[in-house]
């Protein structure tokens, strides 16, 4: 394949797309980016294109602020029109958002091969919109690029070995991004200058199962308040979480800041004592930057982090969050195990795309 349409829309996809776009240019592949508009604020979108030098999108669909059904439906319609005009040889989608599913579905219905980067991941929790997006996207993809052995196993268990599709383990493109941009971040990041504290725990919260459930949200806020009494907690606020917290009436003792760009995020990860998150990507980034991680969920797709003791699942239980904090602050881990490849994941994916 030499002509690719890439679909992005949400923050983690910009980080992943940055690694592939660089390799596409190197390989002489003609890539056009479609931005669905799922995330649109300057600090949730533009900053990533600028800092990570991602080619500007050829198409902006500007679809946001509506429910899952309307969002996915409008994206499907918008992407189909673009694919009919552009007639690409393949459509590349990342991860597990509504943009991922809409891109895959639009392409598959037009018999255009779908390349799914971050294929095979499962949380086994069908209440998560992301799990539905992952399963459906994998099933209609032609080239499935898996980051981990667990992802390969999941696909095998679902009978993918009997399907006429190509499955490869290429490693984790977020590891590529962390390695590549860490050098630039050390020169460009400024966030630490603006923090009122030097020693801190980094937290992020944005999963719908946490923000939209008042019991979960209360438990997490109590847990973070408890940690904050020991070590200050710094939380860059996702817009969804900001809106819900404002209406919740909950008392927040910890430090909240606006969402930060990728360079600043790397700096926060490098300099924190520990990470507390419900993000998929940030769990791995904690490991890349050799930090222990508390995950505010009942399950994770990144099971190898839990198996190796780098990550603990606490859900939203404030006592468990606090207890895990004390245990993990005193825990020494050897982070030298290679779980996600050595920064070659995008290159491997592109070499498979060229062969396809």
Distances (CA, A) of 62 to 8, 15, 149: 12, 19, 36
Residue 88 or 236: the one with the smaller Cβ distance to ligand UDP is 236
Query: How far apart are the C-alpha atoms of 315 and 306, rounded to whole Å?
Result: 13
Contact call for residue 134 and ligand UDP (CB under 6 A): no
Contact call for residue 209 and ligand UDP (CB under 6 A): no
Q: State the sign of the Cα–Cα–Cα–Cα dihedral 22, 23, 26, 30.
A: negative
Distance, C-alpha 40 to centroid of its chain = 16
Query: How far apart are the C-alpha atoms of 352 and 145, rounded to whole Å?
Result: 9
**How near is the Cβ of 211 to ligand UDP at its closest, in Å?**
12
Residue 200 or 262: the one with the smaller Cβ distance to ligand UDP is 262
How many Å from the N-terminal Cα to the C-terminal Cα in the chain? 6
Can 116 be counted among the known catalytic residues?
no
Residue 137 or 204: the one with the smaller Cβ distance to ligand UDP is 204
Contact call for residue 227 and ligand UDP (CB under 6 A): no
The contact pattern for ligand UDP, residues 146-185, with x = CB under 6 A and - = no contact, is: ----------------------------------------
Among 6, 7, 8, 12, binds ligand UDP (CB under 6 A): 12
Whether the Cβ atoms of residue 225 and residue 218 lie closer than 8 Å to each other: no
Contact call for residue 45 and ligand UDP (CB under 6 A): no
Query: How far apart are the C-alpha atoms of 255 and 156, rounded to whole Å?
Result: 44
Contact call for residue 94 and ligand UDP (CB under 6 A): no
Query: How far apart are the C-alpha atoms of 134 and 279, rounded to whole Å?
Result: 15
* Token pair of 210 as six digits: 């946490």
Query: How far apart are the C-alpha atoms of 109 and 118, rounded to whole Å?
Result: 21
Catalytic residue among 206, 216, 228, 238: 206
The contact pattern for ligand UDP, residues 251-280, with x = CB under 6 A and - = no contact, is: --------xxxx--x-------------xx
**How near is the Cβ of 267 to ligand UDP at its closest, in Å?**
10
Q: Which residues bind ligand UDP (CB under 6 A)?
A: 11-12, 15, 204, 206, 236, 259-262, 265, 279-282, 285
């Amino acid at each position: 394949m030499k002509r690719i349409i890439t679909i992005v829309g949400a923050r983690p996809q910009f980080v992943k797309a940055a690694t592939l776009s660089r390799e596409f240019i190197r390989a002489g592949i003609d890539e056009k980016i479609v931005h669905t508009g799922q995330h649109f604020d300057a600090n949730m979108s533009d900053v990533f294109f600028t800092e990570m030098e991602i080619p500007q999108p050829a198409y902006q669909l500007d679809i946001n602020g509506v429910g899952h059904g309307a969002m996915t439906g409008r994206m499907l319609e918008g992407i189909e029109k673009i694919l009919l005009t552009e007639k690409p040889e393949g459509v590349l989608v990342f991860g597990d958002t509504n943009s991922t599913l809409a891109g895959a579905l639009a392409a598959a219905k037009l018999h255009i091969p779908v390349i799914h980067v971050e294929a095979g991941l499962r949380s086994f929790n069908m209440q998560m919109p992301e799990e539905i997006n992952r399963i459906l996207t994998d099933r209609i993809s032609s080239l499935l690029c898996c980051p981990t052995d667990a992802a390969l196993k999941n696909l095998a268990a679902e009978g993918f070995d009997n399907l006429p599709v190509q499955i490869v383990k290429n490693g984790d493109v977020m590891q590529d991004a962390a390695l590549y941009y860490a050098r630039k971040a050390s020169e460009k990041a400024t966030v630490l200058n603006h923090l009122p504290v030097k020693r801190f725990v980094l937290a992020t919260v944005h999963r719908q199962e946490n923000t939209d459930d008042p019991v979960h949200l209360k438990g997490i806020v109590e847990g973070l308040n408890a940690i904050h009494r020991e070590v200050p907690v710094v939380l860059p606020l996702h817009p969804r979480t900001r809106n819900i917290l404002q209406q919740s009436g909950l008392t927040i003792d910890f430090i909240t800041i606006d969402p930060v760009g990728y360079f600043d995020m790397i700096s926060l990860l490098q300099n924190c004592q520990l990470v507390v998150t419900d993000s998929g990507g940030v769990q791995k980034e904690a490991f890349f930057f050799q930090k222990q991680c508390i995950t505010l969920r009942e399950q994770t797709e990144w099971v190898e982090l839990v198996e190796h003791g780098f990550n603990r699942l606490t859900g939203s239980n404030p006592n468990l969050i606090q207890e895990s904090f004390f245990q993990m602050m005193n825990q020494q881990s050897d982070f030298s195990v290679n779980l996600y490849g050595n920064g070659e994941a995008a290159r491997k994916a592109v070499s498979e795309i060229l062969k396809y």
